[in-house]
Amino acid sequence: MIVVMKNGAKKEQIEKVKSTIIEIGYKPHAIKGVLKSVIGVVGDDRGKVIHLERLSLLEGVEKVVPISQPYKLASREITERTSRFRVDKATVGGNKICVIAGPCSVENEEQLITIAKAVKKAGATMLRGGAFKPRTSPYSFQGLGEEGLKLLAKAKEVTGLPIVTEIMDTDDLDLLEDYTDVLQIGARNSQNYSLLRRVGRSKKAVLLKRGMSTTINEFLMCAEYILSEGNEKVMLCERGIRTFETATRNTFDLNAIPVLKEKTHLPVFADPSHGTGYWQYVTPMTLASIAAGADGIAIEVHNNPEVAVSDGGQSLKPKKFAELMKKAAPVAKAVGRKI
C-alpha cells in the first residue's frame, strides 16, 4: 500500500509515518513528489494484519491506498510521474530521449575510443560496452574483464560520456562500481534474484534488461527486487523475447513499451540491436520505439563490425548511427520529445 501525505506535509509528520511503518513490521520507501510526498509500505505481509487504520489516522496523512499490483514500488499507482534521475551528467526519464550507444564488447583501446568519439559526436548520451560478457558458449570471447573496465574509464575521460556495462556476478560489484555509472543486468540474469538484490543496495543506476522468456509482469517483479532494496535508479530495457520466429534473432516486443509505460513509472528503454539481431532492422525499430513512447534507446555500434568479437551482425557503423540520430529527431518531435 501507499501512504499519500497532504500537500505540504511537515518533515516530522513524514518521519512519524515512516517510524510507524517500521513499528508495524514493514519497510517505508519515501518518494518525494512535486506537491505531495508518498510513502510506499512494503514487506512480507505473511501473518500480519495490515494496520491501515493506524496509518491513516496519523497527522499529515491524506489517505492510505492499497496497491493492486504484485509489484508495488515499480507501479505507476505509487507515482504518476515517470521517474527522473541523473546519471553523472546525463538525465534519464526526462523529455529528452536518452541514447546509449557503443560496442557489444570492449575489444581494445583503438576500437573503443574510435566508437566512443563517433557516438558522442552523433549525439549519444551514454557509452555502452561489455567487459564481462554472457556468452552462449564457454568457448566464445568472455570479455576483457578489468582491462575492459579501464578502457571504458579512459573513453569516459576522452568523451565525458557516462558508462554502461554489464554485471554478471555479485562478486564483481565492488570492482564495477569503481568504473561504471550504470550497471547493466543482462537478459540471462534478469531473474537472478541475488544479483538483483545486490545491485539494489548499490548507489549506481541499473539498466535491467528483460529476460528472453520473462512476461511483462515478471519483468516488473524483477525491478521490484532492486527497488525493494532501496535503489530507485532503475531503467527497464525491452530487448526482444524468444518466440517461434527465426527470421530475426529475437522477437522485438514493441508492445512492451506502451504496456510498461502504463504499468510503471520507471523509464523504459528499447534495445533494437538485440531485439532484431540484424543491423538493417535496427533503425526502423528504433524509430518505432521512439514513436511508441520509449524514454531511451540502446544501440550497438562498431567501427568494424565484420571483425567484431561479438554481435557484429547487429551493430551499426558510426555513419549509420549518425544517420539514425538524424532520422530519430523528427519522430521524437512528433511525440513531443527531444533526442
- List residues binding ligand PEP (CB under 6 A): 104, 130, 134, 186-188, 209, 239, 274
Cβ distance 298 to 57 under 8 Å? no
Cβ distance 74 to 227 under 8 Å? yes
Spatial separation of the C-alpha atoms in residues 97 and 337, rounded to whole Å: 7
Spatial separation of the C-alpha atoms in residues 298 and 276, rounded to whole Å: 13
Q: Rank residues 72 and 133 by Cβ distance to Mn ion and give the closer one.
A: 133
Spatial separation of the C-alpha atoms in residues 166 and 159, rounded to whole Å: 20
How far apart are CB 320 and Mn ion at their closest, in Å? 17
No. of H helices and E strands in the chain? 11, 14
Q: Rank residues 122 and 308 by Cβ distance to ligand PEP and give the closer one.
A: 308
Q: Which grid coordinates are listed for 217?
A: 509482469
Q: Does 271 bind Mn ion (CB under 5 A)?
A: no
How far apart are CB 210 and ligand PEP at their closest, in Å? 8
How far apart are CB 84 and Mn ion at their closest, in Å? 27
DSSP string, 249-301: SSB--TTHHHHHHHHBSS-EEE-HHHHHSSHHHHHHHHHHHHHTT-SEEEEEB
Q: Rank residues 198 and 337 by Cβ distance to ligand PEP and give the closer one.
A: 198
Q: Are strands 90-92 and 296-300 parallel, antiparallel or unpaired?
A: unpaired
239 binds, among Mn ion, ligand PEP, none (CB under 5 to 8 A by kind): ligand PEP
186 binds, among ligand PEP, Mn ion, none (CB under 5 to 8 A by kind): ligand PEP
Cβ-proximal residue to Mn ion, closest one: 104
Q: Rank residues 129 and 162 by Cβ distance to Mn ion and give the closer one.
A: 129
How far apart are CB 135 and Mn ion at their closest, in Å? 10
The 10 Å CB-count burial string (b at 16+, else e) for 60-85 is: bbeebeebebebbbbbbbbbeebbee
Cβ distance 339 to 332 under 8 Å? yes
Q: Rank residues 60 and 130 by Cβ distance to ligand PEP and give the closer one.
A: 130
Q: Does 311 bind Mn ion (CB under 5 A)?
A: yes
How far apart are CB 211 and Mn ion at their closest, in Å? 15
Name the one range near Mn ion by CB under 5 A: 33-41, 93-101, 240-248, 309-317. Answer: 309-317
Residues whose CB falls within 8 Å of the CB of residue 334, separated by 6 or more in sequence, listed in order: 291
CB atoms within 10 A of CB 109: 13
Residues whose CB falls within 8 Å of the CB of residue 34, separated by 6 or more in sequence, listed in order: 81
How far apart are CB 114 and Mn ion at their closest, in Å? 18
How far apart are CB 185 and Mn ion at their closest, in Å? 14
How far apart are CB 239 and ligand PEP at their closest, in Å? 4
Residues whose CB falls within 8 Å of the CB of residue 22, separated by 6 or more in sequence, listed in order: 28
Q: Does 181 bind Mn ion (CB under 5 A)?
A: no
Residue from 104, 237, 292, 297 touching Mn ion (CB under 5 A): that is 104
Q: Rank residues 37 and 289 by Cβ distance to ligand PEP and give the closer one.
A: 289
How far apart are CB 134 and ligand PEP at their closest, in Å? 6
Q: Does 164 bind Mn ion (CB under 5 A)?
A: no
Q: Rank residues 106 and 223 by Cβ distance to Mn ion and give the closer one.
A: 106
Residue pointed to by grid coordinates 515499480: 74
Q: Does 282 bind Mn ion (CB under 5 A)?
A: no
209 binds, among ligand PEP, Mn ion, none (CB under 5 to 8 A by kind): ligand PEP
Applying CB under 5 A, the site for Mn ion has a residue count of 2
Cα 320 to chain centroid distance, Å, stands at 25
Residue ranges binding Mn ion (CB under 5 A): 104, 311
